[in-house]
Amino acid sequence: MRSEPVRPKIMGVLNVTPDSFSDGGRWLDPAEAVRHGLDLTAQGADLIDVGGESTRPGSRRVPVEVEQQRILPVVRPLVAAGVSLSIDTMNAATALATAQAGAAYVNDVSAGLADPDMLDAVSDTEAGLILSHWRGLLTPGRAPAHYDDVVGEVLAELELRVEAARAAGIDDSRLVLDPGLGFSKNAEHNWQIINGFARLLTLGLPVMIGASRKRFIGRLLPAALREPDADPETVLRAKDAATAAISALMAHRGVWGFRVHDVASTAAALAAAGLFEPTEGESR
């Protein structure tokens, strides 16, 4: 008997930073950030991914104290409201503090490579850990890494991080993988990963996708929207539509979750794919 497909999780992005690539500065006020997190949840997000340090190309690290000053006043009210959270951080101290405050996942884009204490810190909590493929943050002018077989190399390097997490005492049931679209990868690499997604499932662990609003998505837009003077809001709406299309196309491929800025469009895309039920009381 064929089992029913599992609806992927929707992870709504909540950046409480001044310099994130698409929404930097919009949610710096904790009260506004909390309201936005509640709005994303109402739109269909299963998790809210709270980040206090930008990882866009060319970004600079911030002191861990600053990161926590941005994050914790948002985490505590959202947890109190029953919202499930992941924390986008590369700092072990922040991972520990937010897990103790009730965050369900730590989302480390460096997979524990940026902070050698990260895996041990997460091991001491009950939080899940999202391990992303990473070859270091990009600086302006630095080319993406070279790959002979991008899917195979990403898979092999993620397996090493899984082994490190296991050695730190983190059970497989707490692990999620992310191929790290856009991190040391060009547009062709990203599409090869998306098209070869099935290979990433061979480790037997959940795998999420974070394509939302990234530069390679922008290359899909009409020429007029790729011009420097294009209206930013129109560009974002177009990127969100493309992201939602990717979600719909990949919905039945075994994706664990999609990390997105526009939750409503991905929820609608999953509904179109037959994997998202409207909440009770909504018209059909």
Q: Helix, strand, or coil here: 68?
A: helix
Cβ distance 254 to 232 under 8 Å?
no
CA atoms of 221 and 236, how far apart (whole Å): 10
Active-site residue set: 214, 259
Phi-psi region of 182 (alpha: psi -120 to 50; beta: other; left: phi over 0): left
CA atoms of 172 and 31, how far apart (whole Å): 36
Torsion, Cα of 101, 127, 24, 71 (10° steps) = 10
Residue type, 179: P
